Structures are given as C-alpha cells and as structure tokens.
Amino acid sequence: MERVLSYVDAIREATDQEMEHDSSVIEFGLDVDDPKRIQGTTRGLVEKYGPERVFGTPLSEDAMTGAAIGMAMAGLRPIHVHIRMDFLMLSMNQLINIAAKARYMYGGQVAIPLVVRSMIGKSWGQGAQHSQGLYSFFMHVPGLKVVAPTTPYDAKGSLIAAIRDDNPVMYVEHRILHFQKGRVPEDLYTVSPGKARITAEGRDVTIVGISNMQVECLRAQHYLSEIGISAEVIDPIWLSPLDIDTIADSVRKTGRLIVVDNGWTTCGAGSEIAAQVMECLQDERSIRIHRMGFAPTSCPPSPTLEEAFYPNGRTIAAAAHELVTGVNDWLPTEQTELREIEFKGPF
Amino acid sequence: MYDNIFRSLYLIRRTEEEVARAYPTDKIKSPVHLSIGQEAVAVGVCEALGPEDIIFCSYRSHASYLAKGGDLNAMVAELYGKATGSAKGKGGSMHLVDIPHGVMGASAVVGTPIANAIGYAYALKLRHSNQIVACFFGDGATDEGVFYESLNWAAVKELPIIFICENNGYAIHTAQSTRQKNTQLWQKAAAQGVPAERIDGNDVLSIYEHVSETIQSLRTKKAMGPFFFECMTYRWREHVGPNEDYQLGYRDLSELAPWVETDQVERIGGMLDPIQRKQIEVDVEAEIASAFLYADQSPFPDPSELYTDIT
C-alpha cells in the first residue's frame, strides 16, 4: 500500500533523511527550533541533530542570509528557513549580489549549495505582508534556481534535489499546500530541476498553475469537464530552470494557454511562461494566451476583498471557457467540496 | 620578521603604483580602489595569520589579497580582464579571490562580506577547525545594518573571527563625522558584545602584535572570538581611480602630511640592513614587472566563457 504523508511531513522527512546521511546539511532560521517548529516541518530535528546543526536565529535576515552563504562557501549545505516569503525582502542584497553571483564572479572557484525555504501565506486575513508570492524576482536573476512544489511527493523530491544542488535554490512553499496529503515514498528520491509535470491530460486548453494555484487549476479542470471542455493542466514545479518544452508541447496541441500565477501578473512567472511559449510556437500555429494572478493591489485581509483578490477554480474555469468558446457567458456554480481547506489562525 | 613585513608592504605599494601608472593606457579593464597609504593594516593582520586562515575583503582589496599571499600574476591579469585572471576575467578588481591562499573574495556592496565571513567562521567552529577568519571592511561598512546584525550573531555564537575595520575617515567623499554621531567604532562593536579596541592603523608592528596575541589566544582556546580592531588609517589617493583628489575640496592636503611622515614602507625599510632591503626591492620589482608582462601577454577569455560557471 502506498504511504500517504502531508506536505509538512514530506518536507520534514526530506530534511531529516538528508541530514542523516550528510553531516554538512544544517538548518536554521527564525523559530526553526521553537515549540511550533515551522508548522511541524522542523519537528524532531534539533533533538536528533543538536543545536549546532538546527538552530533559531536573531531577527537578522540580512546577516543570516549572508552567513548561510559563508557556510556554503565553507562546504556546508545550509537550509535557511523563512516562515514568510515577505521576509525575504530583507535578504535580497545577499541573495542577489552574493549567492547568485559568487560562483560566476569568482571564476568558478566557489560553489553556493544553499537552500532558502520560504512560505507564501493566504486566507484568514494574512494581509499585505503575509501573502506575497515573489518568486519571479528570483527567476529574473541568473545564478539562482527556483522551485515551488505543489504536492507532498514533489515537496520531498524537490527539496532533496535542492539540498544536493551546488547552486542556491529558492524553495517556495505555500501555507495552504502544507495541508495537502499525498503519496510519498519512504526512500530518498529527487524531483529534478527543469522537469514539469502534466497533472491532468486534455485537448482543448492548457492551464499552467503555479504553487497553490495548481490546486485551483485542477478545480477549474473539474468544472470545465462538466461542460465538455477538456483542459490539460501542468505544474511547472521548477520555475528556474523552467521546462518550457512540456508546456509548449501541450499548447502546440491545444492552441490555448492560461497561466495562473500565485503572484501579480506584471513581469511575473506567468508572463515569462507566456512569452516563451509564444516564441516557441509563433511560426507553427496561432495560439491564444491569457494570464491570471493576484489583483493589481496589495492583498487585503477582509474576506470579501480577499476572495476577489485571488483567482479561484471558478474564475479560472470561466476564463478557460471564454478562451475556448470566445464567449464570456459562463461561471460555474460553486461546489463546496472543491473549496480549499482554509488556513485559520491563530498562528 | 621585519623582512617579511617590508616585503609585503613594498609589494603592495609598488604593485598599486604600477596599477596607477598603467591605468591611463587603458590596459586595466576594471575600476581600481587603491590601498596606497593603508597597507600597514592588511600586512600587520595577514602577517599574524597562518596560511590556512581565511580572509574576506572589501572592494578595496588589493592590499589584503596580496598580504595574504594572493597570486600577483592572477591579480594583475584579472585587472586586465584576461583569461588567466584570478576569476578568469569574471570578477575584476572588486572581486579578487584566491581560494588556495584563503582569500575568499570581496564585494563591491559595502559591508556585505561581513555576513559571509561570520558564516564561514561558523562552519569552522562546527567542524572544530583550528582556522581563523579575518574580515576586512572600512568605516563606511559600519553605516550598514548588516554590520550590527553580524557582530551580534558572531558574539552570540562565539565565532573564531577577527573583524578588522580600516577606518580611513571617509566613505567615498563623505567624512565619518557627517555620517555618524559616535565615531568611536570600537564602542559600537563593544556594544554588540564583541571585545574591541582602537589601534593605530599606521603602525604595522603594533597591529601585528595585537592581532598575533589575539590569534594565539583563539588557537589555544584561551579566549573565544570574536574580536574587533578599529585601525585608524588614511587613504592617500582618490576613492576610485589612480590619482590624488585633494583638489575636490572634501578633504585638505594637510590631513595627509602626518600619514606620509610615518609611512610604514619607509619606516620598516629603514629598520632593515640596506643590502637586504635592496635585495628585497630588486626581487619584488622583478616580480611585479613579470606580473604585468604576464597579464599583457595572456589571452582574453573566449566569448564562450560568458556562459560557464553559472547554474
């Protein structure tokens, strides 16, 4: 029988297994060793590996990111954890100016095997500074890899791949996805950079969903199937390097692409995917493209506003229907069993 | 010992003078931030370090790079943008690196390497290594938040690191007194829980003695790190480029005089037997001439190199 784990436990297990067989792997960050253990993703690690390899830090994101880079230069494989992706803005200088560049600007003499874990928040009033999906910032910069796994299986496999990578990897989690459960092998395995996954096969429209929006895309696919529209859903998993071939192959077949970003659309990951698909296919066939993502506002905490801020399964399905039929006259009735599990506080 | 110190001081001074001389020919393809006048700090510290020890540098890194034993040929070739450079032409003057000699790199973004240095020191501590990290930065870096964050964590973790602040009184053209209310930088380090003192940065022997003593106590575990030395020094030339800049008016030429009077190249050279001194000078001059020839004759990197050493 296949073993089922939560996304949280998949992350915890990947970290534990890598720390067990490689003493150079260490994990730290704000609250990594506190009673709540980063939603449980670091549970049991300080007890097993001690406070020298698993430790909490001061609220010094800038210096601790720089320190993580220095540790990596010395041959360790640090995992630096940020419980909010928003907090990474305090680490940008070190990530962009050193982590991404050290290997290149030192002529290949150093490697930076660093993993930076961060979590995007959503729901229950997370508000402007607990909700941002800023991974496209990191996709912009050569020298960084970016992964945003959606399933527990990919959470484990891509974290192991990230830890073993000799380059800095931005590992992007989502608080809603932490509740996901799924098949996770007990063995060590990797979900390697640059390979997307087709999560539902279809023929009429290609829907690419990033991070938690992948879940919404699968809901949209369900709604669409009820009216006879066949959607192919793709999870890019790794955003940098990006597996554009899998996406372009799908669009070559369907002729239609919707990219649903877990962030704002302008200069976003979805914009990049749309542009690359267009470059691939423009000489082959005509295609139609639509981008979706956060509303072009800050994220509001009030529930009615927050609901309108994000794309969801219904709005994605409606957009796909319009792209396929050319008519904007359908919005599926909400099926409550398809609603996501909401994150509720306190936290 | 004096001969080694003189050799290092003379090598740095003369290399940089040659860099300045070559600069107008446009063979140097990188902005240069010269250390002329500040050599004593790098030499005093690196003379006290062992070959296995590690340094992190600021963008004004020619002195610390050479004092630590960084390869001269590779440095000049890097300034020339050549394939034989320390970073194969991908770093430039502001990112000199020589891993075999413990030069872990330098950053153009002020203060940034301080955090990298504490991380390296943490890795050393975790592995029970006997190595020590020395981190060089200027007074400008103490304007940055990362300075305080880094010293705090280094103190919390008792890391084997020595912070070397080269206080030359200016961040580019802005005097320290117009940027900082308290200009006693050692006090700021002490406030983070780091044992700290201010020393004469233009007395190479005093620096050597202070740092040697500290390193001795770190190696023998008589004391835990970190330590902080504020070394008072003076930049003789402009912030970036080969020239003097007293005509700009942000500082007066009279400031320079006492530093030139106590120039450590002359002071230590004067302590040597004249024949020995001459021999060192001849050897170093030959080394420098050879390095510039090496850089000149080295090939530029092939354009295909653009895409190597990246993810």
Instruction: Determine the distance in angstroms separating the CA of B138 from the nearest CA of chain A, rounded to an integer.
Output: 17
With contact defined as beta carbons under 8 Å apart, do A143 and A167 qualify? Answer: yes
Architecture of domain A4-183: 3-Layer(aba) Sandwich (3.40)
Taking an 8 Å cut-off on Cβ atoms, the answer to whether B112 and A72 are in contact is: no
Report pLDDT digits (tens) over A123-167.
888 999 999 999 999 999 999 999 999 999 999 999 999 999 999
Q: Which residues of A touch B121 (CB under 8 A)?
A: 70
Residues A207-218, mean pLDDT to the nearest whole number: 96
Query: From residue A268, how far is each of A50, A144, A169, A265 by CA, in Å?
Result: 40, 16, 18, 5
Query: Starting from the edge strand earliest in sequence, which strands make up the sheet with A256-264, in order?
Result: A197-200, A231-235, A205-209, A256-264, A288-294
Asked if A108 and B152 come within 8 Å (Cβ–Cβ), the reply is no
pTM for the structure as a whole: 0.96
Mean pLDDT value of segment A84-111: 97
Cβ neighbours of residue B247 closer than 8 Å, sequence gap 6 or more: none
Predicted pLDDT of residue A345: 56
**Percent of chain A scoring above 90 in pLDDT:** 93
Nearest CB among A75, A93, A108 relative to B309 is that of A108
Cβ atoms of B223 and B134 within 8 Å: the answer is no
Report CB contact under 8 Å: A74, B107. no
Interchain contact, A69 vs B119, CB within 8 Å: yes
CB within 8 Å: B122 and A109: no
Give residue limits of the domains in chain A. Answer: 4-183, 197-326
Nearest residue of A to residue B151 by CA position?
A: A63
With a CB cutoff of 8 Å and minimum separation 6, the contacts of A231 are A200, A202, A204, A205, A206, A207, A217, A220, A221, A224, A225, A320
CA–CA separation, A229 vs B295, rounded Å? 66
Helix (H) or strand (E) holding B11: helix B2-22
pLDDT band of A335, cuts 50, 70, 90: confident
Mean pLDDT of A47-70: 98
What integer pLDDT is reported at residue A129 of this predicted model? 93
In chain B, where are the structural domains located? 2-294
* pLDDT, tens digit (0-9, with 9 covering 90-100), for B1-16: 899 999 999 999 999 9
Which of A63, A105, A145 lies at the smallest CB-CB distance from B87?
A105
- Cis bond before residue B226 (omega within 30° of 0): yes
Secondary element (H or E) of residue A176: none
Q: How far apart are the first and last CA of chain B?
A: 45
Instruction: Give B85's contacts in chain A (Cβ within 8 Å).
Output: 107
Q: Do domains A4-183 and A197-326 have the same CATH topology?
A: yes
What is the complex's ipTM, to 2 decimals? 0.97
Chain A residue numbers touching B120 (CB-CB < 8 A): 70-71, 73-74
Q: Do A69 and B99 touch (CB under 8 A)?
A: no
For B:109-128, CB contacts with A below 8 A are: 109, 112-124, 126
Chain B environment of A73 (Cβ under 8 Å): 104-105, 116, 119-120
Is residue B150 within 8 A of residue B122, CB to CB? The reply is: no
Which helix (H) or strand (E) segment holds residue A232: the answer is strand A231-235
**Burial letters A112-137, b for 16+ CB under 10 A, else e:** bbbbbbbbbbbbbebeeebbbbbbbb
Q: Which residues pair with B164 in a beta bridge?
A: B136, B229
Chain A residues touching chain B at CB-CB below 8 Å: 26, 52-53, 57-58, 60, 62-76, 78, 93-94, 97-98, 102-110, 142-145, 167, 241
On the question of pLDDT at B311 being above 90, the answer is no
**Cα(A286)–Cα(A314) distance, integer angstroms:** 26
Residue A338 has pLDDT above 70, yes or no: no
Cβ separation B86–A97 shorter than 8 A: no
Under the banding of pLDDT at 50, 70 and 90, the label for residue A222 is: very high
- Residue B47's pLDDT band (cuts 50, 70, 90): very high
Residues in CB range of B185: below 8 A, 6 or more apart: B139, B142, B165, B167, B198, B230
In terms of DSSP bridges, do strands B170-171 and B174-175 run parallel, antiparallel, or are they unpaired? antiparallel
Domain B2-294: homologous superfamily in CATH: Thiamin diphosphate (ThDP)-binding fold, Pyr/PP domains (3.40.50.970)
Band (pLDDT 50/70/90 cuts) for residue B258 is: very high
DSSP string, A23-90: TTEEEEETTTTSTTTGGGTTTTHHHHH-TTTEE---S-HHHHHHHHHHHHHTT-EEEEEES-GGGGGG
Q: Could you say which residues from 141 to 200 on chain B have a Cβ atom under 8 Å away from some Cβ of chain A?
A: 145-146, 149-150, 152-153, 156
Residues B172, B238: contact at Cβ < 8 Å?
A: no
A53–B123: do the CB atoms touch at under 8 Å? no
Contact B95 A106 (CB under 8 A): yes
Task: Give the CATH architecture of domain A197-326.
Answer: 3-Layer(aba) Sandwich (3.40)
Task: Select from B58, B104, B149 the residue whose CB has the most chain A CBs within 10 Å, as the one to mutate to test that interface.
Answer: B149
φ/ψ region of A328 (left if φ > 0, alpha if ψ in -120 to 50, else beta) reads beta
d(CA A326, CA A225): 17
Structure tokens at A261: 């970003």
Shortest Cα–Cα distance, B307 to chain A (Å) = 9
Predicted pLDDT at A2: 83
Minimum distance, in Å, between the CA of residue B13 and any CA atom of chain A:
25
pLDDT tens digits, one per residue of A6-33? 999 999 999 999 999 999 999 999 999 9
pLDDT at A305 over 70: yes
- Cα–Cα distance between B11 and B283 in angstroms, integer? 10
> Which one-letter DSSP state was computed for residue B143?
G
Q: What pLDDT, in 10s, does the model give residues B122-144?
A: 999 999 999 999 999 999 999 99
A–B CB contacts, 8 A cutoff, strictly below: 136
Whole-angstrom CA distances from B170 to A83, B236, B239 are 39, 11, 9
Interior/surface letters A223-232, b for 16+ CB within 10 angstroms, e for the rest? bbeeeebebb
* Predicted local confidence at residue B255, as pLDDT: 95
For residues B250-254, average pLDDT = 95
Distance CA A112, CA A143 (A): 10
Positions of A marked active-site: 61, 130
Residue A99 confidence class, pLDDT cut points 50, 70, 90: very high
Q: A58 contacts in B (CB within 8 Å)?
A: 149, 152-153, 156
Contact A200, A221 (CB under 8 A): yes
H/E stretch holding A257: strand A256-264
- Cα–Cα distance list, B64 to B19, B21, B119 (Å): 16, 21, 20
Contact B89, B300 (CB under 8 A): yes
For B:56-115, CB contacts with A below 8 A are 56, 85-91, 95, 97, 99, 104-105, 107, 109, 112-115
pLDDT range class, residue A337, cuts 50, 70, 90: low
Q: Which residues contact B127 (CB under 8 A, 6 or more apart)?
A: none
Average pLDDT, chain A: 95
What's the pLDDT at A1? 65
pLDDT given for residue A124 in this prediction: 85
Which segments of chain B are extended strands (E)?
54-58, 103-107, 133-138, 161-167, 170-171, 174-175, 196-200, 227-232
Instruction: Decide if pLDDT at A341 tops 90.
Output: no
Per-residue pLDDT tens digits for B194-239:
999 999 999 999 999 999 999 999 999 999 999 999 999 999 999 9
Residues of chain B neighbouring A106 (CB-CB closer than 8 A): 87, 90-91, 95, 97, 99, 105
Q: How do beta strands A145-147 and A169-174 pair?
A: parallel
With pLDDT > 90 as the criterion, what percentage of chain B qualifies? 99
Under a CB-based contact definition with an 8 Å cutoff, are residues A206 and A247 in contact?
yes
